[in-house]
Structure 1
Amino acid sequence: MASPAPDDARFTTAEALLVTQGKHRFYTLVLPSDILAATCTVEARLENPIDGFQRLLDKKRARDIADYIDSGFGTVPSAIILSAQPRAQLHFDRKTGEFRFRNDPRSFLIIDGQHRV
């Protein structure tokens, strides 16, 4: 489970698995939704038509998903795809599987899944 790093509350650590496909590296891990919400941002297509990834946030859709989860009906067990940004100061320890990143609102760019965050 993710938690603030003991030496510095400005960072979060979590266990992760490294996935390598060709020359690309990916990490798979589980994070609490409050950490996701506090460290992720969206670059909408309308704000940045060249590099933007996500459609504009539909607040009603996001609220409906949150209400569904909060009502005890279940979870939405699908992956959220993030891109670590330089300000995340991401570090992965291959020996321990520890994934460490800075608690910054722009540490990760949401590529897919903004309505689930």
Structure 2
Amino acid sequence: MSDTTPEQLADDAVVIDVREQNEWDAGHAPGAIHIPLGELPARLDELPESGERDPLQVVCRSGNRSGKAVAWLNQQGFDAVNVAGGMKQWAFAGKPVVTDSGAPAQVI
């Protein structure tokens, strides 16, 4: 399994966020697509098309759940990589974190 880091991604990169709803509501990357890990098998049709040069970037809070998601997606034939350090590292790196409600964003 390969990893990438938040620092290697554009601030507006499309990432697949596999955290739970309360974590998403507290704060997420601006261009993220929210599909909780447990719902991933049933929601594959919501994943963006990944090309040869742009694998799916998968993120969670710290990298554990996204690692499991990436391993599963790769087994299904998707080109996916784990965002090492997750949203905690994303925020630490100074990347934007937003909420849908407009409330102050945080990574929980």
Give me the TM-score of the superposition, normalised by structure 2: 0.27
Relative contact order (C-alpha < 8 Å, sep 6+): which is higher? 2
Give me the TM-score of the superposition, normalised by structure 1: 0.26
